[in-house]
């Protein structure tokens, strides 16, 4: 991921080079060439995702500057580990500190030693899922971990609770149940020790207020102050990702255009289901970069008054 964009954009190439230097291993080579088993290891997956997102942001800023197009987003937001990329884009963390924290986050999550996993539930709304999984409490902890979009919710918990819930959710009318390839029950209370370790690591980096505000995964609300952002980020790994609430909040604040920067377009699909009236753009390669800059140029044009 990211290779074609890095070939086309000096800024994206520089972002990857900075990631390689910051982490002391070939982030760029793994992003561009794999192998797949390393890209699927959360210790590499998380830094690679954030490095690619930051490269896409750098390419967008470079292209907008070259085109004379202003880029002043009203908010920044990211999904799960993507929130760290959003924090760097909003100036809360330096890109190097964001990458170092994400590398630690991936290692801590991989080494947590907590049994369990995650299942995506397709075709049921959140309330019905919460009502259904409440019956599996005797089998262990199970919660909604990602509220991604209407009819797309991820649950997280112990292996026994997930197995019991799958049977009940099928009976409740779920269209599909997809076991995610993860090493533990992420975004559940089982990850609280990871959050505590991250909070201690937060003391080693500099924090700034967000510009633009960050819409928090934990609350779905905009946050500006660095101290509040830091406290919420410590809770993020053990709390549900409130993506639906986040997008709805931005729309309620007048946002009509969303630009996704990163590999693929998963968030674009989620936003489209949450806010079908919104304009959705994304930057993942040179073609989508060109199309996004062209669309932004049109969006920010101010009509010239007709001569009197």
The sheet with strand 117-122 has its strands ordered as 142-149, 152-157, 117-122, 176-179
Distant-in-sequence, close-in-space partners of 74: CB < 8 Å, separation ≥ 6: 212, 250, 253, 254, 255
Given 9, 28, 80, 216, which residue is catalytic?
A: 80
Tokens coding 87: 């924090």
Q: Which H or E element spans position 262?
A: none
65 classed as catalytic: no
290 classed as catalytic: no
As to burial, measured by CB atoms within 10 angstroms (0-12 exposed, 13-18 middle, 19+ buried), residue 221 is middle
Given 9, 79, 103, 187, which residue is catalytic?
A: 187
Q: Under a CB-based contact definition with an 8 Å cutoff, are residues 102 and 143 in contact?
A: no
DSSP symbols for 21-72? HHHTS-HHHHHHH--HHHHTSHHHHHHHHHHHHHHHHHHHHHHHHHHT----
Residues involved in catalysis:
80, 187
């Amino acid at each position: 991921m990211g290779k074609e964009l890095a070939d086309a954009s000096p800024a994206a190439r520089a972002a990857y080079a900075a990631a390689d230097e910051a982490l002391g291993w070939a982030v760029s080579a793994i992003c561009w060439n794999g192998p797949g088993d390393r890209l699927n290891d959360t210790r590499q997956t998380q830094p690679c995702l954030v490095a690619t997102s930051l490269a896409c942001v750098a390419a967008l800023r470079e292209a907008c500057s070259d085109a004379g197009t202003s880029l002043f987003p009203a908010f920044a937001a990211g999904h799960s580990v993507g929130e760290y990329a959003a924090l760097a884009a909003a100036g809360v963390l330096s890109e190097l500190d964001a990458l170092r924290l994400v590398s630690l986050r991936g290692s801590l999550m991989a080494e947590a030693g907590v049994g369990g996993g995650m299942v995506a539930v397709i075709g049921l709304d959140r309330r019905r899922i919460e009502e259904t999984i409440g019956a599996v409490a005797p089998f262990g902890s199970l919660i909604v971990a990602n509220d991604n979009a209407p009819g797309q919710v991820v649950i997280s918990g112990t292996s026994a609770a997930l197995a019991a819930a799958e049977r009940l959710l099928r009976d409740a009318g779920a269209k599909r149940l997809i076991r995610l390839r993860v090493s533990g029950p992420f975004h559940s209370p089982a990850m609280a020790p990871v959050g505590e370790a991250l909070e201690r690591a937060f003391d080693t980096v500099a924090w700034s207020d967000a510009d633009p505000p960050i819409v928090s995964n934990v609350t779905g609300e905009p946050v500006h102050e660095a101290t509040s952002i830091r406290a919420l980020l410590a809770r993020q790994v053990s709390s549900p990702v409130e993506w639906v609430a986040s997008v709805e909040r931005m729309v309620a604040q007048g946002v009509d255009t969303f630009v996704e920067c990163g590999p693929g377009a998963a968030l674009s699909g989620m936003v489209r289901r949450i806010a079908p009236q919104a304009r959705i753009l994304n930057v993942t390669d040179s073609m989508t970069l060109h199309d996004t800059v062209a669309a932004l140029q049109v969006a920010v044009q101010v009509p010239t008054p007709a001569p009197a």
